[in-house]
Amino acid sequence: MLEEILRYFPNQIYILLENMLRPDLNLQRELQEIRIRVGRSILLKTRQADLIIDYQISTSEILQILERLCENSIYAYKNQICEGFLTVKGGHRIGITGTAVSENGQIINLKYVTSLNFRIAREIINCSNQLLKEIIDIENNSIYNTLIVSPPGKGKTTILRDMIRNISNGINEIHFRGMTCGVVDERGEIAAMYKGVPQNDIGVRTDVIENISKSKGMKMLIRCMAPEVIACDEIGSKEDIEAIREAVTAGVKGIFTMHGKSMEDIKNNSQVNYLIETKQIEKVIFL
């Protein structure tokens, strides 16, 4: 994992990070983000604390890192950059900010890139095992339509990914046959596709469509791939809910996530609350 990230940094920064991270296996395990900002120190974010490396990043170093991320062809990655992130081999996701160039209300370019946020991707295999028994309908070899709710950064995407893997592969211990799954990976955080190849294990019966809105992606998967289960992250808009209703009406099961802490947060989103009140969402899990 470490080399997958460090290879994008210029030599001087590479040495600084390697000297700090390589000897400390615990720090490697706890590392969540590496934040690079022009004219400021490097920040390493762990579960417990922020560690500051006293090294001032220059504009030229930011550009050099970006060029390496884009394999020396920034233009080829322009669409992803305009979405504010890149996904690299290993599933690691790099957030990008700077001066946006807009045209007709759409971002068409980012210039003067000022910040990069390397978000470290980690799969936690079998982290969903305890929750799976709540959403699997053994009698019908199916699942209950499920909504996973948690505040940001509490693991809902990690749980969702592992649920998809298990449902797709099947679970021999409980005689659950695998189901065909369709994943709408709007922001590339579930499967973490790199050049068309999922970097995360999402199961043998899973099809992924990425870089598309959840509502359009769900409709496309249902029309083209006939999934038994559909999954996507962070629902909430009217268009999302309409697409979910169409999927459920068509007999497709679903697992979805949203930000929140309580039922009150769900009730404040009338679109999502409607799915629960009409029993189109059968299970709600709070992390």
The reply to whether 124 falls in a domain is no
**Would residue 205 count as lying in a domain?**
yes
The tens digit of pLDDT for each residue in 99-141 reads: 888 878 777 777 889 999 998 888 889 999 999 999 999 999 9
Domain boundary residue, one of 75, 93, 119: 119
Whether 138 and 168 map to the same domain: the answer is yes
From the number of C-beta atoms within 10 Å of its C-beta (0-12, 13-18, 19+), residue 238 rates as exposed
DSSP the chain: -HHHHHTTS-HHHHHHHHHHHTT-HHHHHHEEEEEEEBTS-EEEEESS-EEEE--PBPHHHHHHHHHHHTTT-GGGGHHHHHHTEEE-TTS-EEEEEEEEEEETTEEEEEEEEEEEEEEPP---TTTTHHHHHHHEEGGGTEE--EEEEE-TTSSHHHHHHHHHHHHHH-BGGGTB----EEEEETTS-SS-EETTEESS---TTEEEEESS-HHHHHHHHHHHH--SEEEESS--SHHHHHHHHHHHHTT-EEEEEEE-SSHHHHHTSHHHHHHHHTTSS-EEEE-
Q: What pLDDT does 111 receive?
A: 80
Task: Classify residue 83: in a domain, yes or no.
Answer: yes
Token pair recorded at residue 66: 């970006």
| pLDDT of the residue at 42 | 96
pLDDT tens, position by position, 216-255: 999 999 999 999 999 999 998 899 999 999 999 889 999 9
Q: Is the pLDDT score of 273 beyond 80?
A: yes
Rounded CA gap, 225 and 136, in Å? Answer: 22
Which of 87, 119, 151 represents a domain boundary (last residue)? 119
Predicted confidence at residue 94, as pLDDT, reads: 92
What percent of the chain shows pLDDT beyond 70? 100
Residue 256 shares a structural domain with residue 154: yes
- What's residue 221's pLDDT? 95
Q: Does 269 lie in the same domain as 148? A: yes
Domain count, the chain: 2
- Both tokens of 48, joined, read 């417990």
Report how far residue 11's alpha carbon sits from residue 2's, in angstroms, rounded to the nearest whole number.
15
* Residue 221, domain extent: 129-286
Quote the pTM value.
0.79
Q: 171-220, pLDDT tens digit by residue?
A: 999 999 999 999 999 878 898 888 888 888 999 999 999 888 999 999 99
pLDDT tens for 68-99 read: 999 888 877 787 878 888 888 887 889 999 88
